[in-house]
Amino acid sequence: MAIIKGHFWVVRDGKIIDPYFPLYDEIKKEHKLTGNRIYKLASKQRRREMKKEFITPKMEWITEWKNDDHPNRPLNWEKCLNDFPEARSCAFNAVMEKILRGGQICYGDMGWKRINDVYNEGVFWEYDDRHICIDETTGRMVDLPENTSMDIVVPLMKMWKKNEAQTRALIRIGMERLGHL
């Protein structure tokens, strides 16, 4: 199972529904961030992959628990209600919001504006799914290794927008040099 590097939220009636936690104030203070949260959707393929892996199973389990009339199992649904919303559990929060109030579950990046910063368009992405690349042999998306230097990733992400094929080649060369391939 992959890890969630990005963030899930719900859109209902054109509004983003995403619980706010005190932890976010700490993150903003630590990184000198300002303003309201900023959201950026991941690619359609990535959204589909992440929903299939993280949302679909949770939706099935939680819906089953909600509708379960077995006398020994209503505690699962009660636990879900008691835990909602839960910090650092965006997939759970999105599923619960959708079940309780409807809406569309979205996936991508979430962060805030940086004060006096130009990197990443002046945005600090606390939940950033963009550190992925395409494995040229399989054509599947893969995570860059955790210890990949941001000195490599940031320029590559900027170049990706200009020339995807060239960027893939540079990512591969960089990963080979670091001994990851």
31 and 105, same domain (yes or no): yes
Q: State pTM to two decimals.
A: 0.68
> Does any domain span residue 98?
yes
23 and 106, same domain (yes or no): yes
pLDDT band at 62 (very low <50, low <70, confident <90, very high): confident
The amino acid at residue 135 is: D
**Closest C-alpha to 54, from 112, 2, 109, 127:** 2
pLDDT at 10 over 90: yes
> Does any domain span residue 120?
no
Write down the pLDDT at residue 20: 94
> Does any domain span residue 168?
yes
pLDDT digits (tens, 9 = 90+) for 123-164: 888 887 665 444 445 555 455 544 444 455 555 555 555 555
Number of domains in the chain: 2
What element of type H or E holds 48? Answer: helix 44-50
Q: Which of 18-22, 74-78, 100-104, 140-144 has the lowest mean pLDDT?
A: 140-144
On whether the CB atoms of residues 86 and 93 are closer than 8 A, the answer is: yes
- The string of DSSP codes covering 53-64 is IIIHHHHHHHHH
Sign of the Cα torsion 80, 81, 87, 93 reads positive
**Closest C-alpha to 53, from 12, 112, 99, 5:** 5
99 and 178, same domain (yes or no): no
